[in-house]
A and B are shown apart, each in its own frame.
Chain A
Amino acid sequence: MRQEVVLAMLAKEPSHGYQLRARLREALGPVGEDLNDGQIYVTLTRLEKAGLVTATSAPGLSPDRPDRKVYELTAAGQQRVAEWLAEISWPKPDLTEFHLKLIAAAGGGLGDPLAIVDAQRRELLRRLRDVQRAAMAELRTSDAALLLEGIALRLQADLRWLEACERTWTIRRNQS
């Protein structure tokens, strides 16, 4: 998982590592079961070194437990999250990252999930158009036509999922 995801999950409010973990668990359900807690802490340490988050110590849950760190985005961290939200990355169809982007945007008030969906949809439609143009120029029976059909079908599937994203986030916006 990209470190920007962990970073963006902090956009909502300063949090402990375990709160981040819980937020990811809620956002991902069974998809997040393989997430390893160690990975989150390693990522947080890396983000701290990079100056994207700051950590302050808070007392442990009880006197005999160690202090807990509360992580908070720095200005540079906020900037990085904003860039990540505006990024359109789909070649490696990382649905999870996109899904978390919408949740982070809504939770942190950093952006409009529907605008992110719309930008993505536009880009995918352009790609579908280009793939289809390429497919039309091929003989229907060529090897390349078969590959292009595969790419077109995947783009169509992604577009259908974006429609589902749009529906859900429209309902959420209307409720809030």
Chain B
Amino acid sequence: MTPLLSARGLRKEYGKGDALVRAVDDVDLDVAAGETVAITGPSGCGKSTLLHLLGGLDRPSSGEIELTGRRVDQLGERALARLRRDAVGFVFQAFHLLDELTAVENVELPALLAGRSPRAARRRALELLDRTSLADRARFLPSALSGGQRQRVAIARALANDPVVVLADEPTGNLDSGATLDVLQLFDDLHQAGQTLVIVTHDSRIAATADRLIGMRDGQFIDETRLTGGTTGSLGKLAGLEG
């Protein structure tokens, strides 16, 4: 099957000569439609840079990126902006909501920018807030929401234009344990609904929910783990109930 998103020989370099830094160093990646892939590694390993390249927020020094059969790395500025708006949903650690807009206004913004009618954009935004269990917070400003709620608004916004892939950069980095679970639940729901997700994280709780886990170090992929399959123990055993 053709992957939904793929990268070949992807490189991003900064600086020159002795000061040359290879933030992303010859990475190959294939993400199948409906797959959740988590990329983990220490800070500075290049995982955020990689995510930015995949989503067209930044351009590679060399290599190819294909999203649903289109070469992202060859797009001009305007086409790239359109791709970022229509085909990719971004979720960031710091939420990046607009403080002066309400939750529903934040969520509908990408749809409005894409030229949808205000009525259709609003309807879709309310649907998405309902899906993220925030229907009763639609008219709140971000400052009146908890961190977990803000991140769920941001996830709803990422879905506004029905992106083919959602790219998330440390989405639980600023969240406590309960809010993390809410976000995990949301990602799990999206996954069940067939959404393709690429998540960059060093939170093992997110990593554990992925179909595939890729370890990154010094700009390169160093290992890959498929987490499908069972465990060796029951929950009771994990809790110390037996044996």
Do B181 and A132 touch across chains, with their CB atoms under 8 A apart? Answer: yes
Do A91 and B223 touch across chains, with their CB atoms under 8 A apart? Answer: no
Chain A interface main SS type: helix
Q: Is B101 an interface residue (CB 8 A)?
A: no
User: Which chain A residues have a beta carbon within 8 Å of chain B's beta carbons?
Assistant: 88, 91-92, 118, 121-123, 125-136, 140, 147, 149, 151-153, 155-156, 159-160
Do A126 and B230 touch across chains, with their CB atoms under 8 A apart? Answer: yes
- The 9 listed contacts between A and B (C-beta, < 8 Å) are A126-B231, A127-B231, A131-B235, A132-B205, A132-B208, A133-B188, A140-B178, A152-B205, A156-B204
Do B207 and A125 touch across chains, with their CB atoms under 8 A apart? Answer: yes
Q: Which residues of A contact B178 (CB under 8 A)?
A: 140
Do A132 and B184 touch across chains, with their CB atoms under 8 A apart? Answer: yes
Q: Which residue of A lies closest to B223 (CB)?
A: A118
Do A131 and B204 touch across chains, with their CB atoms under 8 A apart? Answer: no
Which single member of B177, B227, B239 contacts A126 (CB below 8 Å)?
B227
Also in contact, A136 and B237, with CB within 8 A (given A122-B227, A156-B204)? no
Q: Which residues of B contact A156 (CB under 8 A)?
A: 204-205
Chain A CB within 10 Å, residue with most, of B204, B225, B230, B239: B204
Contact with A along B215-243 (1 / 0, CB 8 A): 00000000101010111110101111001
Q: Which residues of A contact B188 (CB under 8 A)?
A: 133, 136
Which single member of B181, B223, B230, B238 contacts A140 (CB below 8 Å)?
B181
Q: Is B185 an interface residue (CB 8 A)?
A: yes
Complex CA–CA separation, A119 to B86 (angstroms): 40
Apart from the given pairs A121-B225, A122-B225, 18 other A-B contacts in the complex at a CB distance below 8 Å: A88-B232, A91-B237, A125-B207, A125-B213, A125-B227, A126-B208, A127-B233, A127-B238, A128-B208, A129-B209, A130-B231, A131-B235, A132-B208, A135-B181, A136-B185, A140-B181, A156-B204, A159-B204
Q: Which residue of B lies closest to A158 (CB)?
A: B204
Complex CA–CA separation, A131 to B239 (angstroms): 10
Do A91 and B208 touch across chains, with their CB atoms under 8 A apart? Answer: no
Complex CA–CA separation, A59 to B177 (angstroms): 62
Also in contact, A160 and B184, with CB within 8 A (given A88-B232, A91-B238, A140-B178)? no
Which single member of A149, A151, A160 contacts B177 (CB below 8 Å)?
A149
Complex CA–CA separation, A130 to B240 (angstroms): 15
CB under 8 Å from chain A, chain B span 176-210: 177-178, 181, 184-185, 188, 204-205, 207-209
Q: Which residues of A contact B208 (CB under 8 A)?
A: 125-126, 128-129, 132
Q: Which residue of A lies closest to B241 (CB)?
A: A91
Chain B CB within 10 Å, residue with most, of A123, A126, A159, A160: A126
Closest CB pairs A-B (n = 10):
A128-B208, A129-B208, A126-B231, A159-B204, A125-B208, A91-B237, A136-B185, A127-B231, A156-B204, A151-B238
Do B177 and A153 touch across chains, with their CB atoms under 8 A apart? Answer: yes
Do B185 and A147 touch across chains, with their CB atoms under 8 A apart? Answer: no
Do B181 and A129 touch across chains, with their CB atoms under 8 A apart? Answer: no
